[in-house]
Amino acid sequence: MKIGFIGLGIMGKPMATNLIKAGHALVVSSHNEAAAADLVELGASAAATPREIAEQVELVITMLPNSPQVRDVALSPDGIVDGARPDLIYVDMSSIAPATAQEVAEALSEHGVKMLDAPVSGGEPKAVDGTLSIMVGGDREVFDQVRDVLGAMGSSVVHVGGIGAGNTTKLANQVVVALNIAAVSEALVLAQKAGVAPDAVVEAIRGGLAGGAVLEAKAPMMLAHEFKPGFRIKLHIKDLANAIDASQEVEGPLPLTKTVLDMLNTLDAAGHGGDDHSGLVQYYESLAGTRLEDS
């Protein structure tokens, strides 16, 4: 399939690379010149605007920071809408507000474009190895048309409902991840303060109910104080803020999420917004006046 890909950041570039490896012909945005050049070396072509990309492909995929960027790429002059035709499919894989996904889908549908919202979970490592979890909202028949394409980027591709449902699911995912990172941070700092080696605690609890993906992926980063971003604190702030906005629309309480969001905002204000979200442990270390150390 000929695919347009817009958004070649930490996540987007490896996702686009995996599409090329799977045999798809790609047209990528030239906005990120270095990333676009790398993909052109792999066989992609580049175009200057979303309109130019949409005019020459069957499917457009975007992987962008937030709702305003998605709205701009899709609906602004020289956007996807200006290159639209009735057989075009648009899959937004960004993590945005569900209401924005619905708004963009409605606007594009007037031009015959069918849209899915398909945010991902797994961070940079899973983007690189093509094992992302992809949660998809939109028409089931459209989903079936692009499921194999999405499968080139993820090991789990699940249709969860109508347009916007993908991002609602992603917000739920981000709530679970954030609260788990906070719990791991809290527990390991408790161990440190009590004189028990945090790495020994991780080894002891990983086989029980406390074990899981967050503990396995994030505890080693906390113990090593290595916060190179797979998923930045700033981006998790954005997702939790979107979750709280969505919760207010449906009157769904998120008291723990609000607490963790406050912690992340404190770290961002202290200059840690570019850290991996496992850097949340630094909030607890600051409160406790300690630092995690291996035994």
Q: 77-94, pLDDT tens digit by residue?
A: 999 999 998 899 999 999
Q: What is the DSSP string of the chain?
A: -EEEEE--STTHHHHHHHHHHTT-EEEEESSSHHHHHHHHHTT-EEESSHHHHHTT-SEEEE--SSHHHHHHHHHSTTSGGGG--TT-EEEE-S---HHHHHHHHHHHHTTT-EEEE--EESHHHHHHHT-EEEEEES-HHHHHHHHHHHHTTEEEEEEEESTTHHHHHHHHHHHHHHHHHHHHHHHHHHHHHTT--HHHHHHHHTTSTT-SHHHHHHHHHHHHT----SSBHHHHHHHHHHHHHHHHHHT---HHHHHHHHHHHHHIIIIITTSBGGGGHHHHHHHHT------
Q: How far apart are the first and last CA of the chain?
A: 52
Q: 260-287, pLDDT tens digit by residue?
A: 999 999 999 999 999 999 999 999 999 9
Q: Which residues does residue 115 pair with via DSSP β-bridges, in sequence order? A: 90
| 295 — pLDDT class (breaks 50, 70, 90) | low
Mean pLDDT of 134-140: 98
Give the pLDDT of residue 122: 87
Mean pLDDT of 225-243: 93
Instruction: Say which of 13, 170, 218, 238 is annotated catalytic.
Output: 170
Structure tokens given for 264: 């992340």
pLDDT at 230 over 90: no
Give the pLDDT of residue 287: 97
pLDDT at 180 over 80: yes
What distance in Å separates the CA atoms of residue 185 and residue 178, rounded to the nearest whole number? 11
Residue-range domain boundaries for the chain: 2-162, 168-288
Give the architecture-level CATH label for domain 168-288. Orthogonal Bundle (1.10)
Give the pLDDT of residue 233: 97
| 218 — pLDDT class (breaks 50, 70, 90) | very high
Q: What is the DSSP string of 158-183?
A: EEEESTTHHHHHHHHHHHHHHHHHHH
Structure tokens given for 51: 């309109």
Give the pLDDT of residue 200: 97
238 is catalytic: no
- The residue assigned the tokens 């700033």 is 234
Task: Please determine whether the domains at 2-162 and 168-288 fall in the same fold group of CATH.
Answer: no
Exposed/middle/buried for residue 188 (C-beta within 10 Å: 0-12, 13-18, 19+): buried
Spell 3-24 as b/e; 16+ CB within 10 A means b. Answer: bbbbbbebbbbbbbbbbbeeeb
CATH class of 2-162: alpha beta
Do residues 279 and 270 make contact, with C-beta atoms less than 8 angstroms apart?
A: no
Mean pLDDT of 88-115: 96
Give the pLDDT of residue 30: 85
What is the percent of the chain where pLDDT is above 70? 99
Which residues, other chains included, contact 246 with Cβ-Cβ below 8 Å and sequence gap of 6+?
Answer: 97, 98, 99, 168, 171, 252
Tell me the average pLDDT of the chain.
Answer: 96
Q: 14-41, pLDDT tens digit by residue?
A: 999 999 999 999 999 988 999 999 999 9
pTM of the full predicted structure?
0.90
